[in-house]
Amino acid sequence: MSDSIEQNPWQALRAFTNARIALGRAGHSLPTAPLLAFNLAHAQARDAVHHPLDADTLHRQLRALGFSSLDVRSAAPDRTHYLRRPDLGRRLSDESREALRGFVSDEAPNVVFVIADGLSAFAASKQSIPFLQAIAKRLSGWTIGPVVVARQSRVALGDEIGESLKANLVVMLIGERPGLSSPDSLGIYLTYAPKVGCTDAQRNCISNVRPEGLDYEAAARKLHYLLTQARSLRLTGVGLKDDSDALLQAPAAETVITGASKPA
């Protein structure tokens, strides 16, 4: 049967990407193996959207690492409402809003981290704890508020959480919309002076945080740079550019060949 599979000449490129390229052909269709792999990836993406966030485990992990933590829910009462009514995922439930009022301290925290299920609870459960460990090492001297675990959450829910806790900055660690090669990708959204009504233009985003994408240390380096600049400039969003890569060691200069002609 293997003789009936026509190999794609671009097959060697598959070593450099998870994208579905050069899958070959069996008659007018895909070979069985890549077709089954596609069906599996599609099922994993659907599971990522519908799987509930294990908040209890996250709270245990956070407290074991020395973080205090809080639990909140959005105004979306369940996953069905969350998916059909994005607006409900952007506001706290009445109970959560009231609960946060009891945790406001006299000293406003420099930053509050929120772990949110978003569209992939897999990502929030898998990536947020090791990322927090990576970024916490870089925040010596910063006042970090309680880590908030949010269910049925959209990105903008962090604005109300940050405003309620009077945080200078809020960082949302949220499960991104799953793709067919990345059902567990974490997105990081940073907002200065968070309050209800902030727009996406007032945020910075670091995406695809996972070992197969942007690894934890690289993402922590970028976020630390943005946090430092945001506190200095008192803004985030379109006015704050991620120039952190410029701080890395510059590549060696190209060798100049004496007498080489310049291109026209």
Domain housing 213: 55-241
Distance CA 105, CA 190 (A): 21
Lowest model confidence (mean pLDDT) among 26-40, 55-69, 203-217: 26-40
The answer to whether position 125 is within a domain reads yes
CB 26 within 8 A of CB 48: no
Q: Is residue 178 part of a domain?
A: yes
| Contact by Cβ (8 Å): 57, 125 | yes
Domain count of the chain?
Answer: 1
Residue 258 in domain = no
Q: Is residue 82 in some structural domain?
A: yes
C-alpha 33, offset from chain centre? 31
pLDDT at 23: 79
Q: What is the DSSP string of 6-73?
A: E--TTGGGGGG--S-----EETTB--HHHHHHHHHHHHHHHHHHHSPP-HHHHHHHHHHTT--EEEEE
> Lowest-pLDDT range, 112-121, 169-178, 220-229, 246-255?
246-255
For residue 157, what is the domain's CATH number?
A: 3.40.50.11240
- pLDDT(18) > 90: no
Is residue 29, in this structure, part of any structural domain at all?
no
Lowest-pLDDT choice from 23-27, 31-35, 181-185, 251-255: 251-255
pTM of the model: 0.84
Q: Is residue 102 part of a domain?
A: yes
Q: Using CA atoms, how far apart are residues 191 and 240, in angstroms rounded to an integer?
A: 11
Asked whether residue 158 is assigned to any structural domain, the reply reads yes
Whether residue 3 lies inside any domain: the answer is: no
Torsion of CA 85, 237, 210, 48, to 10 degrees: 0
Say if residues 43 and 122 touch (Cβ distance below 8 Å). Answer: no
